[in-house]
Structure 1
Amino acid sequence: MIDIDDQDEVRVVTFDRPGRRNAITPAGLEALEAAVRDPPASVVYLRGAGDAFCAGADLETVAGVADGGDVEAFVRRGQRTANAIENSPSVVIAGIDGAARGGGVELALACDMRIATPQATFAEPGVTFGLFGAWGGTVRLPETVGLGDALDFSLSGRVIDSRNARRIGLVSRVVEDPRTVVEQVAENDPTALEKIKTCLRSRTDEKQREDIEVAAFETLVETHAERLKEFADSS
């Protein structure tokens, strides 16, 4: 259910289960984690096949967990995959066209950028049947949209469109084709992309973040010394 297509500086990873709106199974989570852990490209483009991005966890899996399954293992599996996306050395961009629900929203939240089409919709419907997003969603959602909008989105279970998702900061852009943004990012220097992501993603305190910035900038200057000199000479 996870399709991988390596294209130059972009690895395209597709939720490929359109008949089930790309609902993801534990095996799919494992395959997704492997796809982003050490990709051969500076940018990973995460997308869905058909008319949905990802409907979240497969309902048969959820039902099995509810019927005496290992709840902790189910939650930890999703968390590990979301963390692998966040910690990937590559920039991971979610291109959301159609429905993103539950775990699909959580996996998108773990991405570095979320780009929606006008047809994209978002919801955390778990609250309507007594659950909530536990794949890191309660951590990443308020970090992304702020506490007020996170509470509104999660407690209401309502569906929001791409315009409102952009308004609250759940997505950074609304475009007809997210691939155009992917290609724009992929044109940039891969070392700089990795260092910028490391600095911005750091969850350490301010002093440690500053130290990380210093080390990363030193590395980039050393790596691109000749290019910088050429640029300075031509300006």
Structure 2
Amino acid sequence: MPSYQHLLVEENNGILYVTINRPQALNALNQATMGEIEALFGHDYAGRKDLKGVLLTGAGDRAFVAGADIKEFLGVAAEGSGEAMATRGQNIFFTIERFHRPVIALVNGFALGGGCELAMACHLRIATDTARFGQPEVNLGIIPGYGGTQRLTQLIGKGKAIELTLTGNMIDAAEAHRLGLVNYVLPAAEARAKAIELLETIGSKGPVAIEESIKAINAYYAGSAFAAEAEAFGRASGTEDFAEGAAAFVEKRAANFRGK
């Protein structure tokens, strides 16, 4: 079995259990962790026909993934690499969305920014009743860049997607379920069992039909809109506002945006 620094991986009865293991950072997605996610879904377990599916979660009970690692973002504006960073993140999350077996996100605690985008890249989402979701990038003077503008709109519709993206507000698990962002909301003690039950049920169906169903449903959403998001992320990441917003986040103070 491949080894990882930031992922805990266990395989049992055809189900792959993947835990993002950076609890001291609320499981924030640094580039090293993103690389390991890419390796797991894009190479190490790609094409494994004996798998029933994947259960993806975060270590601890405070966060699924609280976002991208903002400290790494501080150099993005100076380097002018925002668009490339967003494109890489999108491509990594495409390896999850296009994985040949169902991937269920078990969302425990915060799923914010890149964490919400990661959950949305999975095929199904089960939330504990303490989960919180949001795309708060505007608070930093930036926009979602890992597919959030696209998948949030696909899942909950344009009006609510615009509201949540432009306000940066968080919603609780019950509201996420009402909007269609998650499939189930359950107490923590029951959520994992439900995810396993779903993977076992799907695993009992025709493997070729499962794989082809995933391809067919994904095909409906194929297009150039993700590239437009990456380009917009690149433009926003080159602004003084983003440099100020990211610095303010790290320094735990209010941002002073100037519209530049």
Measured against the shorter chain, the TM-score band is 0.7 to 0.9
Instruction: Tell me the amino acid that sits aligned with residue 196 of structure 1.
Output: S
2:98 counterpart residue number = 87
1:199 counterpart residue number = 216
1:227 counterpart residue number = none
1:46 counterpart residue number = 56
1:99 counterpart residue number = 110
Deviation at 1:69, TM superposition (A): 5.3
Q: How many residues get paired?
A: 205
1:71 counterpart residue number = 82
Cα contact 2:127–2:182 (8 A) shared by 1:
yes
Q: 178-187 or 140-149, which moves further after superposition? A: 178-187
TM-score (norm 2): 0.74
Closer, same or farther in 2 for the Cα pair 1:186/1:153, shift >3 Å?
same
1:22 counterpart residue number = 27
* Secondary structure of residue in 2 paired with 1:67: helix
How far apart in 1 are the matches of 2:118 and 2:130?
19
1:8 counterpart residue number = 13
Cα contact 1:36–1:84 (8 A) shared by 2:
yes
Instruction: Tell me the amino acid that sits aligned with residue 66 of structure 2.
Output: A
Closer, same or farther in 2 for the Cα pair 1:143/1:150, shift >3 Å?
same
Do residues 55 (structure 1) and 42 (structure 2) align? Answer: no
1:136 counterpart residue number = 147
Cα contact 2:109–2:130 (8 A) shared by 1:
yes
Deviation at 1:93, TM superposition (A): 0.5
Deviation at 1:18, TM superposition (A): 0.2
Closer, same or farther in 2 for the Cα pair 1:199/1:62, shift >3 Å?
same
Instruction: Tell me the amino acid that sits aligned with residue 58 of structure 2.
Output: G
How far apart in 1 are the matches of 2:206 and 2:77?
43
Give the superposed CA RMSD. 1.7
Do residues 151 (structure 1) and 167 (structure 2) align? Answer: no
How far apart in 2 are the matches of 1:90 and 1:48?
20
1:18-51 superposed Cα distances (whole Å, 9 cap, x missing partner): 0000001112111112222316422111100012
1:93-124 superposed Cα distances (whole Å, 9 cap, x missing partner): 10001001101111111110011010100111
Do residues 179 (structure 1) and 196 (structure 2) align? Answer: no
Cα contact 1:42–1:190 (8 A) shared by 2:
no
1:41-97 superposed Cα distances (whole Å, 9 cap, x missing partner): 221111000120001211111112133252222112211111111001110110001
Structure 1 gap ranges (5+): 206-235
Structure 1 runs (4+) deviating above 3 angstroms are none
How far apart in 2 are the matches of 1:202 and 1:104?
24
Closer, same or farther in 2 for the Cα pair 1:204/1:169, shift >3 Å?
closer
* Secondary structure of residue in 2 paired with 1:202: helix
Q: How is 1:213-224 mapped onto 2 (pairs within 5 angstroms)?
A: none
Match of 1:189 among 177, 200, 205: 205
Give the fraction of aligned pairs with identical amino acids, expressed as a percent. 37
Cα contact 2:137–2:168 (8 A) shared by 1:
yes
* Secondary structure of residue in 1 paired with 2:93: helix
Q: Higher Cα Rg: structure 1 or 2?
A: 1
